[in-house]
Amino acid sequence: MAKEVKNDSLKPRWLRLRARFVIFVLSGVALVSAAMAVVSHMEASSALLDASQAYLLSLAEAQANQLARRLDSVAGPARDLATSLELVGVKNESFATALLKQNLIANPHIYGMALALAPYSLSPSQRYAAVYAFRSPKGLKVMDLNNPRYDYLSQNWYLIPALLGRPVWSEPYFDEGAGNVLMTTYSAPMVDKGKMLGVVTADVDLGDLGKLVRSLSLHEGGYGFLLTRQGTFLAAPDPNLVMRASIFSVAEEMQRPELRALGRHMVRGAAGLREIIDPLNQQKAWLAYAPVKGVGWSFGVVAPSEAVLAPVTDLTTHQLFFAVVGLAILGLVVLLMVVGLTRPVKLLTHGAKRLSGGDLACRVEGIRPGDEVGELANTFNTMASDLSAHVEELKRKKQELEDSLHRIELLENIEQTLGKFVPASVKARIEEAPEAPDLKKREQDVSVLFLDVAGYTKMSEQVNGEDMNFLIERYFSSFLDDIYVNHGDINETAGDGLMIIFQEDDPVVHAVNAVTCALAVRHKVAAVNRELEGRFQPVTINIGVNSGTAQVGSSRFEGLAGTRWTFTASGPVTNTAARIGALATQGEIYLGPETAKRVEDRFELKAIGPQTLKNVAQPVEVFAVQGPKAA
Amino acid sequence: MKKTGFTRGCLAAWLVAALLLVSALPAMALDKVSLQLQWVHQAQFAGFYVAQDQGLYRQAGLEVEIRPGGPDINPLHNLASLGCDFATGWLSEAMVLRAKEVPLVNLAQLIQRSALVLVTFNNSGINKIEDLNNHRVGLWRNQFSVPTHALFARNKIRAKEIAQRTSMAPFLSRAVDAAMAMLYNEYHSLYQAGVDLDQIKIFSFADMGLNFPEDGLYALEDTWNERRDVCRRFVAASLEGWRRAFAQKDQALVSVMKRVNEAHLASNRPHQRWMLHSMKEIYTHRVGLDKMGHLSPDDLKQVNLVLLEQGFIPSPVEAEGFAVQAWQKK
């Protein structure tokens, strides 16, 4: 019997196969998707960030350079004019005016130009000598700047280049004369042999700076801005900042020292790129900045980090969306698959339960063949039918076994009963080789004893059949044991007699046995006679014994009713024994000569004399047994 | 679209009528006065704005017109020419004018400690005041240069004086080696132009024995004599405005920035906050909040001394009749 598997010690699973399968597959796929999304997000972010940074920086540099060129195209004519006037000198104001007008016509970028001379240049009585030509809606206009209250000599556009002896860009300013337009002025000093002659200026209208900055192609939420040397906003997304606030004032307002440090870095003419917290909206942003060479301004470009990475975010969002949709579809597919897998399993489980419940006719149906589960179902069904066949076979075998046992019991009974009637020598032979007992006749030295119930015929007429049987059994049973004890084989039972064969290796022994048996039988009969005295007539047993060589074995008689086997000893010895027995009367025990010769030492014998016997040619010496010899 | 004069006139008439109705409600006629400031709108005048915006003048029965100044406006000259009722101005300038027989009276001395400094870059080689010798020094004009000239005279400094305007650009571009600055204004502008305060050095006139108390409130003697009550009410309400401005700086800054924005001035809030903060220090220096307005006889004496020394005045300006202490309650 197979060992029973103990599953009680295992913790039961808390999820059914379907849920487990779906969860495992989906979470696996989700993990892989997530990992891929993270990797692609990081890669894309980094790549995009690099590209955006490069773009921002190049944009800032390009804008700064473009602005520098534009400012230089304004500065150039003023510088050239100053240089040439250093050589030529200024004779009078009308000469100056003509030069200024000429330059303005040639240089449409320039809003206005001034020529201001050092004090008392034209005459010792004239402290101021300055002319300003500028564009107005009605064409070029000229005015002198000689008002003492204005005192151009103390104005920065004159004062600073004059003091420094080199050209200077002014801090931008709102020019009220030109309608509050944002302007900046380039001032180039005229110096001859260390002597300050005067200043040539050129104004540039910066009114379009805001538009320029706003037109930049930037990320959403991005913007450009422009700082002066002092960090003041020249252009900014918030118009309130322009010319009113500096990056330093913003840093101060927001208490952000790092912003101030950044501003100082910028106005010192550095270029760079860094991530900042945008002061306008407190969001992370990338800032690229580059100097506007010549004028010393700084051009900044800001792009919100979020916007820079927006395509990546979009990509990730799309990936996420498709991942979710894909997972949903996959989930459905897996679910369907698992249902397809578990439905047969359920059917099989159900079938197995029925089978274990004893329903051997149970078969699993509705499972498509062709795959493993189909094979399993097929195997199950085969198993079930095999099982039922085996059980049927087992039942049959069991019946057969029972039948056999019954027969064996019968046979044992028969053997016990019949054993008494089967000669011991036959039994021995059969037991030697039960399948093919050697029952063939052979020559053997035996003693044959014939026992005859005297008056049996008369007696059977006097008592009824039932009593007759009782008597025979009673008598015969009484001496059957004596026959066994003396190793005699009952060979033949006729209605009133027995033929008993004694055979031993020693011819004396079986002869002695036969005689001993005969005496015992006579003794027993006498005892039974006494027992039954009064109820039945006493019985007389006459016995004849003879010894010699006889044909011992089975004889087969073929008849209409079948074959009948007898085991006997045939030959003259037997015949003689029967005739000698027939001679005996009054319960005598007669012995043939050969027997007598063999037992004479053991028993008292009395010679009866030669007797002529039927079918025996010669007369035979017969002896009667008196009893055992006294020792 | 141009409206006809008639319709405009009607509109104006209606407006005037409406205003009259509204103003008639308190049943008290407001005294109309005007105040001329030294400079454009900024926190230097925060107390006056607060007094006006929070109704202190109105409560004092005054309707005050505050006029911003500018580079071309001299409030004390304006006062002398009857252009306004009250004006703010420097003590030294007022004394010079008084010495010139302009009948000014000091109603209240607002700034107690001079905020005037000379500023230099650390790396300009100017480590002590004597080092200014032969260096270019930007100087404001007129009376603003008085303390500087006194300083130079006392220290025998021969500097190259460069006429300086309001901009600090000459200093920032190193066209001058030193420049005048007010601690509450230009000094901080340098900071907002990216100059770290440890890059520059200041020489404070107040620390160098030249504490010229600056802003004060002035009126003509006639005004003081004839409308003394109005003067007192105006000074009291103004000082109360200052006390409130110092107590509630954020609210005061709202009043300041409102005017700054309306005038499209190139300034910003943190700069005005700094200025207001500085104002509190120099207004309450020595006198505290309660005695704001006090003109110290010592200061008067010292300014007299310097002005005499420099030849700006022939004889000392007496406190009597000049320092009327209109802030004191009678």
pLDDT at B4: 45
Architecture per CATH, domain B27-112+213-310, reads as 3-Layer(aba) Sandwich (3.40)
* Nearest-CA distance A221 → chain B (Å): 25
pLDDT at B315: 93
Segment of A233-237, A288-292, A483-487 carrying the highest mean pLDDT: A288-292
Q: Could A160 and B269 be called an inter-chain contact, meaning their C-beta atoms sit closer than 8 Å?
A: no
Q: Record the tokens describing residue B284, joined without a space.
A: 């309450």
Does the pLDDT of residue B227 top 90, yes or no? yes
Pairing of strands B136-139, B160-163: parallel
Of all residues in chain A, the one with the smallest CA distance to B189 is A249
Does the pLDDT of residue B142 top 90, yes or no? no
* Nearest-CA distance B226 → chain A (Å): 36
- Which candidate in B124, B174, B268 is best for mutational testing of the A interface (most A CBs within 10 A)? B268
Residues of A in contact with B72 (CB under 8 A): 149
The closest alpha carbon to B115, from B253, B213, B244, belongs to B213
> How does pLDDT run across A60-115, given as a tens digit for each residue?
899 899 889 989 999 999 999 999 998 888 888 888 899 999 999 999 989 999 99
Architecture per CATH, domain A209-308, reads as 2-Layer Sandwich (3.30)
When CB atoms are compared, the residue of B173, B193, B271 closest to A168 is B173
Task: Judge whether A420 and A481 are in contact, CB under 8 Å.
Answer: no
Task: Judge whether B297 and B80 are in contact, CB under 8 Å.
Answer: no
Does the pLDDT of residue B3 top 50, yes or no? no
Q: Where in chain A is the domain with CATH 3.30.450.20?
A: 89-205, 209-308
pLDDT at B213: 92
Q: Which one-letter DSSP state was computed for residue A450? A: E
3-state secondary structure of A547: strand
When CB atoms are compared, the residue of A159, A230, A252 closest to B172 is A230
Return the HEC string of A400-421.
HHHHHHHHHHHHHHHHHHHHCC
When CB atoms are compared, the residue of A171, A174, A249 closest to B271 is A249
Q: How many residues does chain B have?
A: 330
pLDDT at B283: 96
Task: Judge whether B87 and B218 are in contact, CB under 8 Å.
Answer: yes
Mean pLDDT estimate for chain A: 84
Of all residues in chain B, the one with the smallest CA distance to A254 is B270
CA dist., res. A565 & res. A420, Å (int):
17
* Nearest-CA distance B175 → chain A (Å): 6
Q: Band the pLDDT of A550: cuts 50, 70, 90.
A: confident
ipTM for the complex shown: 0.85
Question: Considering the domain A89-205 in this protein, what is its CATH number?
Answer: 3.30.450.20
Segment of A158-162, A346-350, A355-359, B165-169 carrying the highest mean pLDDT: A158-162
pLDDT at A415: 65
Q: Which one-letter DSSP state was computed for residue A108? A: T
pLDDT at A335: 83
Q: How many residues does chain A have?
A: 631
- Residues with Cβ within 8 Å of A166's Cβ and at least 6 positions away in sequence, in order, are A189
Q: Could A248 and B191 be called an inter-chain contact, meaning their C-beta atoms sit closer than 8 Å?
A: yes
| B27-112+213-310 and B116-204 have identical folds | yes
Please name every residue paired with A590 in a beta bridge, in sequence order, or none if there are none.
Answer: A544, A624
Does the pLDDT of residue B311 top 90, yes or no? no
Q: Could B194 and A267 be called an inter-chain contact, meaning their C-beta atoms sit closer than 8 Å?
A: yes
Q: What percent of chain B clears pLDDT 70, i.e. is strictly above it? A: 91
Average of per-residue pLDDT across B271-293: 95
Architecture per CATH, domain A424-628, reads as 2-Layer Sandwich (3.30)
Q: Could A230 and B193 be called an inter-chain contact, meaning their C-beta atoms sit closer than 8 Å?
A: yes
Of all residues in chain A, the one with the smallest CA distance to B271 is A249
3-state secondary structure of A130: strand
Q: Could B72 and A163 be called an inter-chain contact, meaning their C-beta atoms sit closer than 8 Å?
A: no
pLDDT at A506: 87
- Which candidate in A160, A180, A247 is best for mutational testing of the B interface (most B CBs within 10 A)? A160
CA dist., res. A564 & res. A556, Å (int):
6
Task: Judge whether A338 and A332 are in contact, CB under 8 Å.
Answer: no
Residues of A in contact with B144 (CB under 8 A): none
> How does pLDDT run across A11-67, given as a tens digit for each residue?
777 777 777 877 888 888 888 888 887 888 788 878 877 888 888 899 889 989 988
Q: Where are the domains of chain B?
A: 27-112+213-310, 116-204
Q: Band the pLDDT of A438: cuts 50, 70, 90.
A: low
The closest alpha carbon to A32, from A326, A336, A333, belongs to A326
Q: Could A159 and B170 be called an inter-chain contact, meaning their C-beta atoms sit closer than 8 Å?
A: yes
Topology at the third CATH level for domain B116-204: D-Maltodextrin-Binding Protein; domain 2 (3.40.190)
The closest alpha carbon to B133, from B144, B143, B124, B122, belongs to B124
Q: Record the tokens describing residue A133, joined without a space.
A: 């030509």
Q: Could A171 and B169 be called an inter-chain contact, meaning their C-beta atoms sit closer than 8 Å?
A: yes
End-to-end CA distance of chain B: 57
Of all residues in chain A, the one with the smallest CA distance to B269 is A253
- Residue type for position B48: F
Please name every residue paired with B65 in a beta bridge, in sequence order, or none if there are none.
Answer: B34
Output B6 or A566, whichever has higher pLDDT: A566
pLDDT at B14: 60
Mean pLDDT estimate for chain B: 89
Does the pLDDT of residue A394 top 60, yes or no? yes
Does the pLDDT of residue B27 top 60, yes or no? no
Exposed, middle or buried by CB within 10 Å (0-12, 13-18, 19+), for B250? exposed
- Which candidate in B176, B192, B250 is best for mutational testing of the A interface (most A CBs within 10 A)? B192
Of all residues in chain A, the one with the smallest CA distance to B262 is A240
3-state secondary structure of A251: helix
pLDDT at A426: 67
pLDDT at A173: 86
**DSSP 3-state helix, strand, coil percentages of chain B (rounded to 5)?**
45, 15, 35
Q: Considering all CA atoms of chain B, what is the largest pairwise distance in Å, rounded to the nearest integer?
A: 70
Residues of B in contact with A249 (CB under 8 A): 192, 268-271
Residues of B in contact with A260 (CB under 8 A): 194
Q: Could A231 and B173 be called an inter-chain contact, meaning their C-beta atoms sit closer than 8 Å?
A: no
3-state secondary structure of B244: helix
Output A506 or A263, whichever has higher pLDDT: A263
Segment of A382-391, A614-623, B111-120, B204-213 carrying the highest mean pLDDT: B111-120
Please name every residue paired with A566 in a beta bridge, in sequence order, or none if there are none.
Answer: A555
pLDDT at B18: 55
Kindly report the number of other CB atoms within 10 A of residue A28's CB atom: 10
Please tell me the least confidently modeled range out of A455-469, A481-495, A520-534: A455-469
pLDDT at A414: 66
When CB atoms are compared, the residue of B169, B172, B194 closest to A248 is B194
Task: Judge whether B271 and B294 are in contact, CB under 8 Å.
Answer: no
C-alpha distances in Å from residue A293, one per residue of A65, A121, A229, A299, A603:
7, 34, 11, 10, 166
CA dist., res. A198 & res. A26, Å (int):
84
* Nearest-CA distance A154 → chain B (Å): 6
CA A374 to chain centre: 20
Q: Band the pLDDT of A1: cuts 50, 70, 90.
A: very low
Pairing of strands B62-67, B31-36: parallel
When CB atoms are compared, the residue of A245, A264, A267 closest to B268 is A245
CA A398 to chain centre: 44
pLDDT at A563: 66
What is chain B's alpha carbon radius of gyration, rounded to the nearest angstrom? 21
pLDDT at B244: 97
> How does pLDDT run across A492-523, given as a tens digit for each residue?
766 677 888 888 888 888 889 989 998 888 88
CA dist., res. A286 & res. A279, Å (int):
12
- Residues with Cβ within 8 Å of A59's Cβ and at least 6 positions away in sequence, in order, are A216, A217, A218, A224, A288, A301
Q: What percent of chain A clears pLDDT 70, i.e. is strictly above it? A: 91
Q: Band the pLDDT of B24: cuts 50, 70, 90.
A: very low
When CB atoms are compared, the residue of A163, A170, A244 closest to B266 is A244
Q: Could B172 and A229 be called an inter-chain contact, meaning their C-beta atoms sit closer than 8 Å?
A: yes
Does the pLDDT of residue A215 top 90, yes or no? no
CA count, 13 A, side-chain hemisphere, A60? 31
Does the pLDDT of residue B330 top 70, yes or no? no
Does the pLDDT of residue B240 top 60, yes or no? yes
- Residue type for position B301: K
